[in-house]
Amino acid sequence: MDLSAVERDEALHEMLDALAEIGLIEKENVEPILLELVRRETLGTTAIGRSMALPHARMEEVSTMTVALGLSRQGIEFHALDVRPVKAVFLVLGPKSDPDGYIDTMKTVSNMTRSEDFRRFLFRADSAEEVSDLIREMSGKMK
C-alpha cells in the first residue's frame, strides 16, 4: 500500500511488481503493461485532481479485472492538472475480453475517488485493513 516512488512511472512499476509478486499478473507482463500505462498517460494524465490518480488499461496480458491501490505520504509527481502531488493511485487493469466489467469497475472507482468523505477517510487510514473496509463500504454505496 505504501509507495516509495516519487515519480509516476516508478510508482506504476512498483505497483505492477507488487501485483506480480502476489500472482495477480505474470512477471513477464510487468513491462508490457507498464508501457501501455505510460502510453495511456501520453494521451492525457490520469491524475484526476485532489491528490488522486486513476491509471488504467485494457489489454491482452491481463486475464481478470485487477484493481490496486498505492498510497504515498510524500506525494508522487503525476503531472496532475491541478499541479498537486498524487497521494493515492488506483490502478485498474482489465482484459480486452470484458469491456462491461472494465467500465463498471472504472465507474465505481471513479465515483469513490470523487467522494470527499472517501478521500478524507482514505488519507486518515492507518492500515490496509481500514482501507479495505472503506473500499468495501463505499463500493457498496456506489452501485
pLDDT per residue rounded down to tens, the chain (143 residues): 689 999 999 999 999 999 999 999 999 999 999 999 999 999 999 999 999 999 999 999 899 999 999 999 999 999 998 999 999 999 999 999 999 999 999 999 999 999 999 999 999 888 888 888 888 888 766 55
Q: Are 89 and 73 in contact (CB under 8 A)?
A: no
The domain ranges of the chain are 8-141
How is domain 8-141 classified at the CATH fold level?
Mannitol-specific EII; Chain A (3.40.930)
- Give the C-alpha separation, 63 to 19, whole Å: 13
Residue 69, helix vs strand vs coil:
strand
C-beta neighbour count of 143 within 10 angstroms: 8
- Give the C-alpha separation, 39 to 97, whole Å: 20
- Give the C-alpha separation, 31 to 38, whole Å: 10
